Amino acid sequence: MHPAPSVIIFTTLSGLGFGLLIWLGLGMPTVTGWVAFVFFLIAYALAVGGLLASTFHLGHPERAFKAFTQWRTSWLSREAWAAVAALIVMAIYGAGLVFFGTRVAFLGWIGAALSLLTVYCTSMIYGQLKTVPRWKTPLTPVLLMAISLAGGALLAGQVTEALILLPVAAVVQVVWWVKGDTALKSSGSDMASATGLGGIGQVRAFEPPHTGTNYLLREFVHVVGRKHAIKLRAIALVLGYAVPVALLLMPFGHLLALIAVAAHLAGIAASRWLFFAEAEHVVGLYYGKR
Amino acid sequence: MTSLPESTDRKLGLVIDLDTCVGCHACVVSCKGWNTENYGAPLSDQEPYGADPTGTFLNRVHSYEVQPDQGAAQLIHFPKSCLHCDDAPCVTVCPTGASYKRVEDGIVLVNETDCIGCGLCAWACPYGAREMDAAEGVMKKCTLCVDRIYNENLPEEDRVPACVRTCPAGARHFGDLGDPNSDVSKLVEERGGMDLMPEQGTKPVNKYLPPRPKDRMDRPAPAQAEGDIDVLAPFLKPVAEEPKGFIGWLDKALEKL
């Protein structure tokens, strides 16, 4: 799949933003006044910023509100509802903390649940697609929720939780990669099934339908060099998980925390680039590209 | 509504004969011609006369080489457009309701004024049937020429999809695949019509007829029916088994050297 910057930015930032909202909703940390204001500002900047970035890849962003209508079948529509609901509930809850110094616990829990639901809906946009075998696994929502929870804990300064969740997310990440590498092969889709000609013999793409490129090739056929991918996986693991864990084990300091968050964001962005770039869409089979 | 209908009254679709398709791309051109001038936004091209031309097409013809374990490879031309699936994954993922499958005839369509151009339907389609138009920012797909097949302003013989009407090889057939007595259903039955990527669970309406086994030079032709005489046969017999005359002398002379 084409690793579009808008979608990478969207899933990385909003995942982290909603992750922070989950912890704020749970009252970890319980903050009020200006400190609460700064926490909520960061969470909303990430979550809303990510959502706005996602509208950049739309052909008609001015019609985006129509995406609220099909929640019965569409995960994208459900994500829109969950995100708006989470942001509204958390705004009321946050206003209580910032302006009145009171924590309405049940609102926080609802907001946290809705924030987690938003991340789940986002992950299911990808996890539902049978056409991309690497994504079509229950591990995809597990991975994106684990990253969101771990990153949120890191950003919320929940050291103990982050020290548990970051390694957990790293393990899910590695398992997801290893399983994903054989997903296309074990999906049963190949050139023989795509063309229905496998019964005659070995199928080879002889001539594409056109001399140039097209939308399908640009959007769905992106081939990453194997060496390149292994290097990027290493970078994602070190920056996204190992460095933050190492820094959390050191005595706490705001500068170290900032470096930990920056490293985590960079690592997750690398992992998210791979999430798209390495994903093989079965339409590539028609072009002999798999 | 992007929920799929429980069932459709008819299942209009195409039957594509891989045995007779000659790969001339006439269906591609007529499809682009009709659909750029009629239903919905035109099918734009980007840099059509430049160094790197691209464009939106609803129908494309691939060519595959199939190598059997023994014998010569076979070249198969392979037209591909929307299969108007019964279980169309492109419809259910649509967040706006722009994509829908019609109850009356099973055609999958896009209401372009509702499309936000998110591209998720194209992601969900295993066949590459949907293409985002780079100029309009909306999703384009085969409409089964919905503006031809019911169009009473056209002569009756033209009320079929443009690709079917134009195919010079008769490799494309249009009809109701939900009716077991329709011509297309009979054709599918007779020739063993198949689904593309059945493992994807999309239940395509369009069927493909597999290529028939080819004649082979090293094998005698199948026995002719009684009384069926090939008038050319006497002329195609070898004139002489053994060389005669000058060639015969030369052959012998060279042999002796």
Question: What is the residue-averaged pLDDT of chain B?
Answer: 91
- Tell me the fold of A5-286: Formate dehydrogenase/DMSO reductase fold (1.20.1630)
pLDDT at B230 over 90: no
Residue B216's region, left for phi above 0, alpha for psi from -120 to 50, else beta, is beta
DSSP state of A281: P
| Phi, psi values for residue A205, rounded to 5° | -70, 120
CB contacts, 8 Å: A58 with chain B: 116-118, 137
Nearest-CA distance A170 → chain B (Å): 28
Say how far apart CA A19 and CA A148 lie, in whole Å: 5
Residue of chain A minimizing CA distance to B60? A209
CB atoms within 10 A of CB A240: 26
How far is the alpha carbon of A72 from chain B, nearest alpha carbon, in Å? 7
Distance from CA of A198 to the nearest CA of B (A): 8
* Token couple for B204: 């395509």
Give the three-class secondary structure for A205.
strand
Q: Report the distance separating Cα A111 and Cα A281, nearest Å.
A: 35
Average pLDDT over residues B169-190: 96
* pLDDT, position B241: 74
Task: Give residue B128's identity as a one-letter amino acid code.
Answer: G
Q: Which of A5, A3, A12 is nearest to A264 (CA)?
A: A12
Q: Residues of B with CB below 8 A from A210's CB?
A: 57, 60
Q: CA separation (Å) from B230 to A240, B213, B221, B236? A: 77, 22, 12, 10
Over the stretch B5-27, which tens digit does the pLDDT of each residue have? 888 889 999 999 999 999 999 99
- The model's pTM is 0.89
Q: Which residues of B touch A279 (CB under 8 A)?
A: none
Closest residue, chain B, to A279 (C-alpha): B123
Question: Two tokens at A270?
Answer: 């690398």
Beta-carbon separation of A70 and B1 below 8 A: yes
Nearest CB partner across the interface for B126, out of A68, A80, A282 = A282
- Model ipTM? 0.92
Question: Which residue is closest to A79 within chain B, CA to CA?
Answer: B95
Closest CB to B96 among A70, A125, A132? A70
Cα end-to-end distance, chain A, whole Å:
12
Q: How many CA within 13 A on the CB side of residue A200?
A: 23
Helical (H) or strand (E) element with A202: strand A202-207
Provide, as residue numbers in chain A, all residues whose Cβ is less than 8 Å from the Cβ of B22.
none
The partner residue sitting opposite A77, judged by closest CB among B76, B95, B136, is B95
How does DSSP assign B126-160, residue by residue?
TT---EE-TTT-SEE---TTHHHHT-TTS-GGG-S
| pLDDT of B219 above 90 | no
**Cβ <8 Å between A214 and B115:** no
A195 touches chain B (CB under 8 A): yes
* pLDDT digits 0-9 by tens, A232-261: 999 999 999 999 999 999 887 888 989 999
Q: Which residues of A touch B98 (CB under 8 A)?
A: 66
User: In chain A, which stretches have pLDDT less than 70?
Assistant: none
Pick the CATH number of B12-209 from 3.90.550.10, 2.160.10.10, 3.30.70.20, 2.60.40.1180: 3.30.70.20
Nearest-neighbour CA in chain A from B159: distance (Å): 27
Give the span between the Cα atoms of B62 and B76, in whole angstroms. 8
Q: What per-residue confidence (pLDDT) applies to A227?
A: 77
User: Contacts of residue A130 in chain B, CB cutoff 8 Å?
Assistant: 89, 124, 126, 200-201
Q: Which of B4, B17, B96 to mutate to test the interface with A (most CBs of A within 10 A)?
A: B96
Q: What is the CA radius of gyration of chain B?
A: 25
Nearest CA in chain A to B214: A200
In terms of Cβ atoms closer than 10 Å to its own Cβ (0-12, 13-18, 19+), residue A134 is buried
Tell me, what's the pLDDT at A212? 86
Spans of all domains in chain A: 5-286
Cβ-based contacts of A74 with chain B (< 8 Å): 2, 92-95, 120
Place B228 in a pLDDT band, splitting at 50, 70 and 90: low
Does B116 sit within 8 Å of A64, measured CB to CB? yes
* pLDDT reported for residue A107: 95
Determine the distance in angstroms separating the CA of A284 from the nearest CA of chain B, rounded to an integer: 9
For B59, how many CA atoms within 13 A lie in the half-sphere containing its CB?
30
B106-148 per-position pLDDT tens digit: 999 999 999 999 999 999 999 999 999 999 999 999 999 999 9
Is residue B223's pLDDT more than 60?
A: no
| Range scoring the smallest mean pLDDT among A92-101, A212-221, B200-209, B229-238 | B229-238
Task: Say yes or no: A203 contacts chain B, CB-CB below 8 A.
Answer: yes
Size of interface A-B (CB pairs under 8 A): 200
CB contact under 8 A, A72 and B61: no
Of A129, A196, A219, the CB nearest to B208: A196
- In 3D space, the residue among B116, B107, B89 whose CA is nearest the CA of residue B201 turns out to be B89
Task: Work out the pLDDT band at B231, boundaries 50, 70, 90.
Answer: confident
Residues 6+ apart with CB under 8 A from A96: A102, A103, A104, A107
Residues of A numbered 48-77 whose beta carbons fall under 8 angstroms of chain B's beta carbons: which are they? 57-61, 63-64, 66-70, 72-77
Tokens of A74: 């569409």
Could you identify the residue written with the tokens 């946290």? A112
Tell me the per-residue pLDDT of A97-144, one tens digit each, with 9 for 90 and over. 999 999 999 999 999 999 999 999 999 999 999 999 999 999 999 999
